[in-house]
Amino acid sequence: MSKPLEVEIMGTTEIIKPSPPTPDHLRNFNLSLLDQIVPVEYTAVVLFYTGNGDANAAKKSQRLKTSLSQTLSSFYPYAGIIRDHKLVECNDNGVVYIEAYASCYLSDILHQPDQKLLRKFLPIEIESPKAGTGPLLLVQATFFKCGGVALGYCLSHKIGDGNTTGMFITSWAANSLGSNKAVIPKFIATSGLFPPDDSLAPYMDVIGSNYVTKRFALYESKIAVLRAKASSANVPKPTRVESVTALIWKCVTTAARSNRGFPRVSSTVHSMNLRKMVVPPLPDHAAGNIIGDFPAETKEKKLDLPDLVSKLRKGKEEFCKNGLQILLTNKSLTKPEELCNAVENEDIDFYMFSDLSRFQVYESDYGWGTPIWVSIPNYMHNLVMFVSTRDGLGLEAFVTLCEEDMALFERDPELLAFADFNPSVLEAPSHLGLVSRL
């Protein structure tokens, strides 16, 4: 791009309320233990649409607002407000809807996406403390000159994980199309499974100031080669996520050790969807934070992909066997301050991985086609987030590191043998044949 992107906010912010209003008997919604323990921040995602050549922004915006109001009748807690870190008062305050216009073409964004610019398509800062006290859901619809659209969502992490965010997005899209495929969420995590703990206080995340996020794409053919290289007698058929995780874990640890001058313990935690792990299993449309973390670490001086995959598989199996049962029995998790201490411990390298590759939002059609690209604006240091490529066969990794570690990581030959650094969305294998001027 020859000049910085400018996003001009036109008109006034609107508040969208559920239609019909929330019944009185649903006015108080208790947070679960897992809701309470997540940091005060927003989960964010941006979906980009070509618009199918339709440049009528007013018509699109009206469709979005009407279907959003309809969707909120099922996702009614999102229009409320959190009280005392214990419950959501479902008072139909409404959600924030912002209409914006970008003084550029969609292709200017997609040619070589800039992670910092992606935040311009969000309605609020991800790290805002309002996630615990203010609006629980904010949406920004940004319209491009060419008719393209960017939909940016910020949902308070206190009331939903990535699966819940995806559930809302696909339901909103179904309502926008007038489809009968909209999901009716089940807010059931509090009932018996994960009752709240009145002693817990809100926890603010550790963000940092000198951290940068870079995007890396790994396509199907190279992932197949990587999986073969990462296999072993212990794990003969590693999954694509295990293989890519091991590769990134190895490369970020190598970078950190090179900068620190000595080998340190490299510790990780990995988010897991618990919906199918509990007994009886919860439905896919169970809403809230229903996730747990399994750990893995290495003390080895020489890092080996098959060994790292084995450590990941062992950590996951041990959590499935014992960790979940401990969680359900004790009704407790690692306290937030313990996680914070791990992040700031100078004796170890600590990384967090979150896999959103099963996000079904690439199927979300609001009336102008499915997304050409789905992006996660990353924010927290030493965090790696995965999303699927548009064809569902590859992975995009959004990696956030301190500037010193990123300078070495992004040039690692082993990483670049499998990953393309910030490739053009328009030239990706799944997008071949698209016109270049959107």
How many whole angstroms separate alpha carbon 43 and alpha carbon 56?
29
* Distance, CA of 294 to CA of 217 (rounded, Å): 25
Strands 383-388 and 395-402: antiparallel
Nearest to 137, CA basis, from 183, 72, 193, 184: 72
Residue 61 token pair: 């915006």
Could you tell me the two tokens for 128? 């805002």
Active site residue 284: no
Q: What is the token pair recorded at 427?
A: 């030239």
Burial of 433 (0-12, 13-18, 19+ CB in 10 A): exposed
Residue 47 has phi, psi (to 5 degrees) of: -110, 130
Q: 373 - beta bridge partners? A: 48
> Could you tell me where the DSSP H helices lie in 178-323?
220-230, 240-260, 305-318
- Dihedrals φ, ψ of 270, to 5°? -130, 125
Dihedrals phi, psi of 112, to nearest 5 degrees: -150, 85
Beta bridge partners of residue 269, listed in sequence order: 295, 352
Is 111 a known active-site residue? Answer: no
- The one catalytic residue in 54, 197, 365, 420 is 365
Q: Which helix (H) or strand (E) holds 171?
A: helix 162-177
From the candidates 35, 92, 157, 293, which is the catalytic residue? 157
Residue 394 structure tokens? 């590859």
CB-CB contact of 260 with 343 (8 Å): no
Phi-psi region of 180 (alpha: psi -120 to 50; beta: other; left: phi over 0): alpha
| Distance of alpha carbon 244 from alpha carbon 395, whole angstroms | 8
Question: Which one-letter amino acid corresponds to residue 135?
Answer: P
Which amino acid would we find at residue 296?
A: A
Q: How far apart are CA 256 and CA 288, in angstroms?
A: 35
CA dist., res. 435 & res. 438, Å (int): 7
Token pair belonging to 30: 């208790």
Longest CA–CA span in the chain (Å) reads 61
Q: Which residues of 59-69 are buried (b: 16+ CB within 10 A; e: fewer)?
A: ebbebbbebbb
Neighbours of 103 (CB within 10 A): 12
* Residues catalogued as catalytic: 157, 365
